[in-house]
Chains A and B, each alone.
Chain A
Amino acid sequence: AQKVTQAQTEISVVEKEDVTLDCVYETRDTTYYLFWYKQPPSGELVFLIRRNSFDEQNEISGRYSWNFQKSTSSFNFTITASQVVDSAVYFCALSDLPFNSGGSNYKLTFGKGTLLTVNP
């Protein structure tokens, strides 16, 4: 069975600090996708990134960066120079793609989320 572990339940930082959110996953499939979603206090789920299991390149998008390491089954998320608007719950999610699944991400396994609070 798939499993996503976000060991950090809550993180509190001061504005402009860098912060890394950890995500460790378990799957038996060789083909899968990993995602990060942000849930601000307003409650909606905002998509941040999708990563295919065959693509181990790290990615940077503005102040956000992601480090994918298959060897350790981790997909960590770093926010550089954090801002108050980054305060939210962040979810890591895994979508495995069994051979006969049709190849779509309709079954996500979510971690329990990390509540990030950025204080001014």
Chain B
Amino acid sequence: NAGVTQTPKFQVLKTGQSMTLQCAQDMNHEYMSWYRQDPGMGLRLIHYSVGAGITDQGEVPNGYNVSRSTTEDFPLRLLSAAPSQTSVYFCASSYSIGVDSYEQYFGPGTRLTVT
């Protein structure tokens, strides 16, 4: 299994440009999430999905859109990039079995710079 993959690894955008960060997992996990990591802030949840066709907002959703048409893919769209979106973005997936829930598996991250 490749686990959770993210593309690209690095990206530089100009203010106002749009782009999509790709995330895919091959573990058949139901749950997927996007986080951003900023210096001294830990990781903060942007959006999450509990299954194909179901998404919801996390702590810092403004400026981002998501969709989940398949179990495997969970892309994150920046509609009009702003310098405040300069960050490292992590995608994660997780699963549960019965009443037991397991850890999130994280992708390698995408480092985004908006100039």
Interface residues of A (CB under 8 A from B): 4, 9, 33, 35, 37, 43-45, 47, 50, 52, 91, 93, 95, 97, 102-113
Of listed A37, A44, A105, residue having the most chain B CB within 10 A:
A105
* Chain A residues positioned under 8 Å from B58 (CB to CB): 107
Main secondary structure of the interface of A (DSSP, over half): loop
A97 to B94, CA, bound (A): 14
Q: Are A44 and B101 in contact (CB under 8 A)?
A: no
* Chain B residues positioned under 8 Å from A97 (CB to CB): 101
* Chain B residues positioned under 8 Å from A95 (CB to CB): 101
Interface residues of B (CB under 8 A from A): 30-33, 35, 40-45, 48-50, 58, 88, 90, 92, 94-96, 99-106, 108-109
A105 to B92, CA, bound (A): 10
Q: Are A105 and B106 in contact (CB under 8 A)?
A: no
Q: List 15 A-B contacts (CB under 8 A).
A: A9-B40, A43-B109, A47-B106, A91-B43, A93-B43, A102-B50, A103-B96, A104-B96, A105-B101, A107-B33, A108-B92, A110-B43, A110-B44, A112-B41, A112-B42
